[in-house]
Structure 1
Amino acid sequence: MKRFFEAVISRSLLFIILVFTIAIFGVYTFITIDQREIPETEVNLINVTTAWPGADKSDVETNITEIMEAEVFGIDGVDGVSSVSQDGVSVLTLELSDSAEPKDVLNAVNNMTGGLSGDLPENASDPQVESIGNAFPLLSYQFHTEERAALDEIRPDLEGLEREVLQLSGIDGVTVKGYTADSYTISLDREAMAEESLDPNQILGEIETALGPVILGEDVDNGEIIRLSFQDEMPLSVLEQVRIGPESIALDDLAEIEMISGEPEDIVEYEGEPAVSFTVFLSPGEDVPSVSQDVESIVNDTIDGLPEDITATNISSERENVEDIFTGLYMSLAIALIAVILSTSLGLSLVGSVTVMTTVVLSVVIGLIPVPWFGVDLNQISVIGLIIALGILVDDSIVVNDNIERRFTIGDNRVDGVFNGLKEVAPSVISSTLAIVFTFSPLLLLSGANGDFIKALPSVLITTMIASTVLALTFVPAARYLLGQRKAPDYPGLFGRLFARGGDVYADKVLPVIIKRPLVTFLTVLVIGTLSLGLIRFTPFEFFPEADRSEVTIDLIFDESQTIEQTHEEANAVLDHILDEMPHVEAASLFTGSGLPNLFGASLSQSGPNTAQIALEIDKTELSASETIDQYEAPLRDAFPETTIFMETIVQGPPEGAPITVELYETDLERLSEETDSLKSMLEADGALVTTNLGESVPTNQYTINHEALEENNISISQIKNELNMLSAGIPVQGIVVDGETRETTLKYSDASTLDNIDVVSTSGDQPQTYPLLDFVEVTEMESPKYIHHENGDRMVELEVYADDEAVANETIESFRDTLSDSSNIVVGGETSDQTDFFVEISILFGIILILVYLVIAVEFNSIIMPLIIVFSIFLAISGGIIGLFVTQTPISFLGIMGMVSLSGIVVRNAIVLLDFIEARRKSDQFNINEAIYESGRARFKPILLTTITSIIALTPVAFSGDALFVPLAVTVIAGIAFSTILSMIATPSLYYLYYRLRYRK
């Protein structure tokens, strides 16, 4: 073995050159890896939308939704199906399993919908299948001016800009809000039709034929194939020339063809001026800065060509957010690197310090190479992972380097010093690294959005730790061999003498006292650690904190029955009140209708003409976003009691849902609606704010067809339905092309025709007979919800509950459960429940971590008891982390919990190496048990203290950064390491001594 080692170590220079060459690839990875603000979270959803114009929601549910749900459940990879049926449209949302390949499922869904064409209603549109990914807004502009007409004039410019941007690589889509879609209506004159004995089907057939394409094919002339084509006129002019019936009556004589402005989906304003929103979405896995620069270049060219009265304001730039965040993170990373350099110089010789520092930098750089293979990019979490890694990577290098120097000091030559120094510590170094790898590996299994969010942290720590261990066992010996045998100074490092004295005091003064009363010492430490856990009750909790941003969004929900114009007027009243009451608001955008284009983490779960969203930009130096919400949300609700109002800000984590959600399942729609209203009333009586996906009931005219009358007079049900369609929404026909764009076109009766004056013609007898439409239709005025929701095929309603006292709300829900009918079921969930599920999951993973760490140590020491001594340091680290959070009053958060899990791998290193030293000395027969403990403490005092100081200093900039997301993690790790180091140096020797006395009866 030694001969082989000599052969390898003699080629140290070539190996070092190889390492630096590999490091170049790491630098390239760091420069080219995609950057974004927060990690991507997987959103594997597929939407299937089927339009059936004029159909009632109940018919849509029966004839479309239920038919498609029955087929969807048989597709592999679909984990769940939710649906909503409303008048004229069915929407299915398919949730894919984690193991599913989205493209394969998408193809299967397309094949399924294609095969259902014969089973769906004849006049229903083909189902539209769309994959919903995790694209997020890259840039958003508001084009605004004083006059609305000026925005209409630049519409072609923005449509051209949209086409240009969509052609860029890395763009997932573009959303333009604020324009309405013009359409054409062919309003039939019922009396004119009667005079010519024409029915709507004849007219519809002629229109479709006139607007349809002409297919002429090919001809052959003297053996030459000639392609035949037909030059059509502009469809609008063709429509005006349509002739119908035996008398070739012109369509103009039977109907009025007019263009109408469609109902706007959104009305947008910026700073009180009419506006159009232009938002660009980034494709998954793309680099934010580079793609953003390409888009901005094109957008700026378009803006330069717009009229002077049009102002373009950038209200959201992901590139600016990324640059601001990374400036601070890179500064923390640089400070952490400097801290590592300075801390290693405190207790190592110049040669040793340079070797360790070089190894740490190479470990970080090389450790980045495989990171993209984990699906991880450069974001806040991965950079924090690098900062944490810098604090713990030094341990391996310090241990190996320090032991090689120790071998040189006692007289080993260059080869023997490197060989023996490495041989003595390699097992403990490998074991401690495996413990860290096994600590962080289970975190890669964390499910859902939380798992996607945190994945970068364990990925970076695993790869850099493996790189660090490999380099500590190869690069450090090679470097020390190449630099030659040098006698280390008696007190290496700036504080070398102080470390030496500290080691002597620890070995000669502290350890003898500990060994003298080991049980009392251990119990004292145990009591301190246990009491520390009780501080959790007095420590604030915040799962994900708010981002330090200046945006506040306000959701507004008005009466279901009102128009979008009414909603816009009332939303402006709310906005005016806000501007009067909040002097720190700097800018405001208003989106009435479908709401913000997924900006600032805000979205409306149930949007429509009765909803609006306001985006405020505030002066956060005067009042933060959370303070703004706390101070103004309740008064705003009091000022507008008829409006449902939510104020929110950006959260540094995956999107959050309602604190409590209640899913009610019941097959009877009327009973389901009654139970929903009952529970909502009970919760609102407790002071909770409740919204439902059922929506408020709206005035409804329900048509009931008299089937007996139809049979008596030989009238088909399709005739009645067609007449009702023609009176209301109309029948869609092929679109009209105007100015190069296709406009939707609808055939319907003119406003002169009503339910009271329409006759139905029966042609079953010898002579056609007419009957009033009202003979076959009964109209009932009622209140009816707008939506019918399904969850995995079952009718359901979801309530979102926002309560100051969640315990009271849960008690109310449980008391309501007892009143439900046997056919009803209730499921309670929500963000609070999701957090509980997370703590259950992380507890299970933590148990797995402890088992893995235990097994690694058990193999290392070939003992089932000694690992318990080392695992005890994890308990101390967690206690220390809680003390740190309590003293600083830093909230226990998602990343705080991750910090405690991280400590599990970090703190065992010191205990492993300390016990390894004790075991080696005890087995050498040169020391008795007391001397073995004392001398091991003397040898390990400096490396333990040095690595602890390095870890603390590296994370101190993060702890004082003020970043609410990362401060809990930094405080937890700093306090956990410090507390564990101090108490482990007391508890570990005492526990080992107790183990030795019991094991060997001495």
Structure 2
Amino acid sequence: MKAILASILKRSRIFVIFIFAIALFGIYTFLTLDQREIPETNINFVNVTTVWGGTDALSIEENVTNVLEVAIADVEGIASTVSTSQDDVSAITLELKDDADKNQVVSGVNNVINSTLSQLPETANRPVASSFSNNFPLISYLFTADTYEELQEIEQQVIELEQDIQAVDGVARVSTKGYSETFYNIAIDRDAMLEAEIFPIQIIDEINTVLRPATLSTSDESEDIRIGFSDLEPLERIETVVVNGTPLVDIATITEASEMPEDIISYRGQPSVSLTALLGTGENATTVSKRVEEIMDAASADFDDNIEVTMIQSERENVEDIFSGLYLSLGLALIAVVIGTFSGLSAISAVVISITIVLSVLIGLIPIPFMDVDLNTISVIGLIIALGIIVDDSIVVSDNIERRLALGDSRKDAMTIGTQEVAPSVIASTIAIVFTFLPLLLLSGANGQFIRALPSILITTMIVSTILALFFVPALRYLLSGFKVQKSPGFFGGLFMRGSKVYAYKLLANSIKKPFVSFIIVFIVCVSSFVLVRFTPFEFFPAADRNEVTADVIYPTDQPIDSTHEDIMALANQMELEMPHVEETIVFTGQGTNNLFGADLSMPGSNTGQIVLKIDKEIMSDAETIETYEASYQDTFGNDPLIFFNTVVQGPPVNAPVIIELYNDDLDVLVSRADEVANYFREQDIAIESNVGEPVETVMYEIDKSAIENAPVTYGQAKSDLNLFGRGFPIDSVIESNAEKEVHIQYGQSDVADISYIEEVSRQNLTPLIQHKDGNRFVEIKIFTDDTDMVYDYVDELRDSVDDGTTLITEGDIEDTSSFFVEIGILFTVIMILVYLVLAWEFNSLRLPLVIVFTIFLALSGGIIGLFITQTPISFLAIMGMVSLSGIVVRNAVVLIDFIEYRRIEGKMAIEEAIVDAGLARFRPIILTMLTSIIALVPVALSGDALFVPLAITIIAGITFSTLLSLIATPSLYYLYYKLKYK
């Protein structure tokens, strides 16, 4: 290292310019990083959907879902499967392993589908495998009018606008909600069809042939010719169909029809249509949003005056609001750290350190894009924390250079020797910090992806700051020579000088006279503080303090969507009257908001909806709104309807507090047991949500095999014949006016009772949804209560009494939180081992590192005390703050012990003198590093941000408590260690 330093000092100007040049890449990286509110999390799911029109849930389960689940089980990379079998559709969701390649899994699933097509029903559509998108809403607009008819008049304009926005680079897709779907309906006259000796499958085949273009291969084999009817509209093409010589129009009525919309939307009581653009993966929210806004601003002028266009959500506005506050905190932190360095160091040292801090941050950003980290709230907070840590290396090196200059060393020797003396402790403490944050990159699931930016930023900036402290600081300090060495440098140099003498000659000298007593006192204080955990609030992820609260509304039975909308509108009006801080409401009936404002429905349908309450958060916050009103509405309405209030949570989505899963192969027993569990909690006035669904009255028929022998149909033709009664089913889709439109087929005025070869067997109430998890039938019941002990007690009693083969498992937010603490406990153990090994290597001792590791427990105690005193909740980021302290606080102990060891090895002083001398020399840099770390986080602690305040308070209190107590405990422990080792 001496040779490297000598070479750098010889070329100090070139080296300094080189470092500044590298920093330019950091500026470019900062300006080009994608910005988003929270870190982007990968949704590792794949969906497999199969449509088999006109088929009941049991048949779907037996003939489609079971077949596909068995085949898909052999595909590599799948962690678990959940499926839903319902009338007409089989939907299988595959959760992938963390290290699985989504594209490879989709390819593997498609290969399996191809090999199992022969096992699936002939009339079923081909299964479609697609990766689940985690695109979140970027910007959303409402088109509002006095009547729904006025909205229908602008449908084509909205479709064209949707296409223009879809073409914007960075937009993943565009979702329009509120319009009725139109389709072509083919109503067959069954008697005429049979008279012409035609069967439904023949009609379907001919229609498909006409609608789909034919492909002919040329002799060159390098080009295909597609033959279609581009000059005819889809309806005209269908009308040209001829089946066995009989024109389709002679046996069927072909019309354009519309069905009840999947969504009905109202804004301020008026009918509306929504248009939402979703952001593509890895895209910059601000840049893409501005492009969409330009298109919308231009298009709004083309709508009639009776159409009101309103932006109801903008991710750009959220990002800009949050980042303006975070950048202010970052700027204040940087200023505070710089002022802190001037308070205890000479002006020249403070300037050098200030420059080094900025360069460390900029250069530390360069690798960030390659680590799949963007610019989000977590990464900016990481930079703020880093400011308080990265300054430590420069302070230690610069302070020791100043000390060597004060001792009379030449300029070159002061730079070289001053750096070399502290280099081992600086490197060791940096490695310890890196090893502290490195395991956090292994944190699994959404929590791991959410926090990934924090350790990534801290690791890169710490490594860069150490390199710059060891090489750039002496080089720049060498260039800026000629300044007189001050005896008491800094604004408060005299105070630091007096403080170091009081500490070394009084506190430290007295404490090592009775080292065991000093240690025991500190130890008792440390252990006692952990009791305070029971008296400190807990909140894993806090509310985001937004202007929106959503209310999920779920009616217990199926009802027409227009009836549901009327009921929810009345409920929204009631809420607006009873909540004075509600400024306006938006009602989404049917599928819900689809993740607008972080709200989504788990089982949407015609009986569900969501109310968006736009609130004045200055009067009452979103969290206070939920706390004040949710319980009262649930008490008032019970389970008819179920009402759950939600708001945006600053973290990954959370589950219900407790989820009960029941497993049984016998569907009737399973549903009966699920009803028993659900009714028990309803009787306790506890809100629950079940994935069973209300039973549906079903008429069961069977085919008379003796009668079918005399009928001109096969068994398969008879089954497809039955599918056409009632609502029929879709057989294909066409593109018209750049929009997809389905083609349905059904019997017209026929009655199923007219068929001679079937007879009614029974009428039953059947479950409309059959759920599987990993191939086993199951029911999921979500329990929304704070009294989780009662839930677990009941489940234990039920589990012991069940003798019908039903298995009960509990999951949910409580289980997820427990799993997180188990995982973080394992990682913390790994961190402690890694830190210990680094220190053991540094001091070549297995016992001495235990003296330093004790400071970690002091820091944890301080963090708990800080949270208790301020009554700040123990949260996810508070836990991350405690983990962070594990690496941060060892530095001061390492520097202090290293100095004592250096004096001891020299042999010029007694051990007592060495300890006092080390305290005198290291007091100022230890206190300075503590102060700079604290003041960097003060703006965050005072920001009021519910997500980051617990992190800031934990680190501030932990560093303060650990530093002040370790100034006594660490030398005392070292003295005991020395006496035991060298007695």
Same fold (TM over 0.5): yes
1:21 equivalent to 2:21? Answer yes
1:293 and 2:293 matched:
no
User: Which residue of structure 1 aligns with residue 107 of structure 2?
Assistant: 107
Measure, in 2, the Cα distance between the counterparts of 1:137 and 1:227: 38
1:495 lines up with 2:484 in the alignment: no
Say whether residues 1:959 and 2:959 are aligned partners: no
Map 1:229-628 → 2, pairs under 5 A: 233-240=232-239, 242=241, 248=246, 251-484=248-481, 486-628=483-625
- Pick which of 229-238 and 332-341 moved more: 229-238
Listed one character per residue, the Cα deviations across residues 74-132 of structure 1 (whole Å, up to 9, x for unaligned) are: 11112211111100011111111111111222222222223332221111111122211
The 5 Å alignment of 1:39-54 reads: 39-54=39-54
Mark the CA change 1:701 to 1:349 in structure 2 (over 3 Å): closer, same or farther: same
For 2:146, the equivalent position in structure 1 comes to 146
Task: Find the partner of 1:899 among 873, 881, 899.
Answer: 881
Q: Match of 1:636? A: 633
* Residue identity (%): 51
2:677 maps to 679
Residues 148-167 of structure 1 mapped to structure 2, 5 A cutoff: 148-167=148-167
Of 564-573 and 30-39, deviating more is 564-573
Q: Distance in 2 between matches of 1:476 and 1:266?
A: 64
- 2:767 corresponds to: 785
Partner of 1:764: none
Q: 1:866 to 1:277 in 2, by over 3 A?
A: same
Distance 2:412 2:979 in 1: 39
How many Å separate the matches in 2 of 1:368 and 1:944? 27
Paired residue secondary structure (1:658): coil
1:915-930 correspondence runs (5 A): 915-930=897-912
| 1:918-944 deviations in Å (ceiling 9; x for gaps) | 111112122111110111000011111
**Do the aligned residues in 1 keep the contact of 2:201 with 2:720 (CA within 8 Å)?**
no
Instruction: Describe the shift of the 1:129–1:939 C-alpha distance in structure 2 as closer, same or farther (beyond 3 A).
Output: same
What is the distance in 2 between the residues matched to 1:467 and 1:740?
54
Q: In 2, distance between residues paired with 1:327 and 1:576? A: 36
> Is the CA contact (8 Å cut-off) linking 1:408 and 1:414 kept in structure 2?
yes
1:172-221 CA distances to partner (integer Å, 9 max, x unpaired)?
1111111111112222334444665655455555555555646788899x
- Cα deviation, 1:330-370, whole Å, max 9, x if unaligned, reads 00000100001110001111111111111111111111111
Any idea what SS the aligned residue of 1:143 has? strand
TM-score if structure 2 supplies the norm length? Answer: 0.96
Farther-moved stretch of structure 1 (74-83 vs 861-870): 74-83
CA distance in 2, matches of 1:132, 1:805: 34
Structure 1 length-normalised TM: 0.94
Distance in structure 2 (CA, Å) of the matches to 1:287 and 1:366: 22
Equivalence for 1:718: 716
Equivalent position of 1:769 in the other structure: none
Once residues 494 and 216 of structure 1 are traced to their aligned partners in structure 2, the CA distance between those partners, rounded to angstroms, is 87
Give, in angstroms, the shift of residue 712 of structure 1: 8.4
- The 5 Å alignment of 1:66-77 reads 66-77=66-77
Distance 1:198 1:353, change over 3 A: closer
SS in 2 for 1:615: strand
CA distance in 2, matches of 1:503, 1:975: 22
**Is 1:889 matched up with 2:871?**
yes
Counterpart-to-counterpart distance in 2, 1:252 and 1:715: 23
Residues in 2 aligned to 1:958 and 1:110: alpha-carbon distance in whole angstroms: 50
Distance in structure 2 (CA, Å) of the matches to 1:20 and 1:849: 34
Correspondent of 1:820 among 795, 802, 812: 802
Query: What amino acid maps onto 1:518 in structure 2?
Result: P
* Contact 1:408–1:487 (8 Å) recurs in 2: no
What amino acid sits opposite 2:967 in the alignment? M
Q: Deviations over 1:205-247 (max 9, x none)?
A: 5555555646788899xxxx9999867533423444555666x
2:975 is equivalent to residue 987 of structure 1: no
Distance 1:117 1:391, change over 3 A: same
Distance 1:596 1:368 in 2: 37
Q: Quick one: structure 1 residues 985 and 723, their matched pair in 2 at CA, closer, same or farther if it must change by over 3 Å?
A: same
Distance 1:493 1:207, change over 3 A: closer
CA offset at residue 254 of structure 1?
3.1
Query: What do you get for the CA RMSD once the two structures are aligned?
Result: 2.2
Q: Which residue is 2:176 aligned to?
A: 176
C-alpha displacement of 1:596: 0.6
The answer to whether 1:98 aligns with 2:85 is no
Q: Which residue is 1:653 aligned to?
A: 651
Offset at residue 782 of structure 1 (A): 2.2
Question: How much has 1:710 moved relative to structure 2?
Answer: 4.6
Does the 8 Å contact 2:692/2:768 carry over to 1? Answer: yes
Counterpart residue type for residue 323 of structure 2 = F
The answer on whether the counterparts of 1:682 and 1:812 sit within 8 Å (CA) in structure 2 is no
* 3-state SS of 2:801 partner: coil
- Indicate how the Cα distance of structure 1 residues 740 and 415 shifts in structure 2: closer, same or farther if over 3 A, else same: closer
Cα distance change of structure 1 residues 922 and 267 upon mapping to structure 2, 3 Å threshold: same
Counterpart of 2:505, as a letter, is: D
- Give the 3 Å change call, closer, same or farther, for CA 989–206 of structure 1 in structure 2: closer
Structure 1 residues 208 and 521, CA gap change in structure 2 (3 angstroms): closer
Amino acid at match of 1:924: E
> 1:865 maps to which residue?
847
Aligned partner of 1:945 in structure 2 is 927
Other structure's SS at 1:53 match: coil
Could you say which residue in structure 1 is the equivalent of 2:833? 851
| CA–CA separation in structure 1 for the residues paired with 2:352 and 2:206 | 87
Amino acid at match of 2:159: E
Structure 1 pair 213–963 and aligned structure 2 pair: CA distance change class (3 A)? closer
Tell me, yes or no, if the aligned pair for 1:567 and 1:592 is still in contact at 8 Å.
yes
Residue 80 (structure 1) aligned with residue 77 (structure 2): no
The separation in 2 between residues aligned to 1:219 and 1:383, in whole angstroms, is 62
Q: Give, in whole Å, the separation in 2 of the partners of 1:243 and 1:863.
A: 92
In 2, the alpha carbon distance for the partners of 1:584 and 1:5 equals 65
Q: CA deviation at 1:573?
A: 1.8
Q: Is the CA contact (8 Å cut-off) linking 1:409 and 1:487 kept in structure 2?
A: no
CA drift of 1:822 comes to: 5.6
CA deviations 1:255-277 (Å, max 9, x no partner) are: 32222211311111111111111
Between 1:452-461 and 1:678-687, the stretch displaced more is 678-687
Alpha-carbon distance between aligned partners in 2 of 1:214 and 1:739, rounded to the nearest angstrom:
22
Closer, same or farther in 2 for the Cα pair 1:64/1:503, shift >3 Å?
same
1:36 maps to what in 2? 36
Contact 1:185 1:747 in 2 (8 A): yes
What's the CA shift string for 1:409-448, capped at 9, x where partnerless? 1111111111110111100000111110011101111110
- The alpha-carbon deviation at position 967 of structure 1 amounts to 0.5
Deviates more, 1:177-186 or 1:347-356: 177-186
Separation of aligned partners in 1, 2:230 and 2:977: 97
Question: Whole-Å Cα distance in 1 between the matches of residues 487 and 704 of structure 2?
Answer: 106
Task: Determine the structure 1 residue equivalent to 2:127.
Answer: 127
How far apart, CA to CA, are the structure 1 residues paired with 2:32 and 2:659?
43
CA separation of 1:211/1:482 partners in 2, compared to 1, >3 Å: closer, same or farther? closer
1:374 deviates by 1.4
Matched, 1:700 2:712: no
* Alpha-carbon distance between aligned partners in 2 of 1:580 and 1:861, rounded to the nearest angstrom: 70
* Count of matched residue positions in the alignment of Structure 1 and Structure 2: 979
- Alpha-carbon displacement from aligned partner over 1:832-862 (angstroms, at most 9, x marks no partner): 0000000011011001111111111111111
Equivalence map 1:761-840=2 (5 Å): 772-773=756-757, 776-821=758-803, 823-840=805-822
Change (3 A) 1:201 1:945: closer
Q: Describe the SS at the equivalent of 1:620.
A: coil
Q: 2:824 pairs with 842, 853, 856, which one? A: 842
What SS does structure 1 have at the residue aligned with 2:752? coil
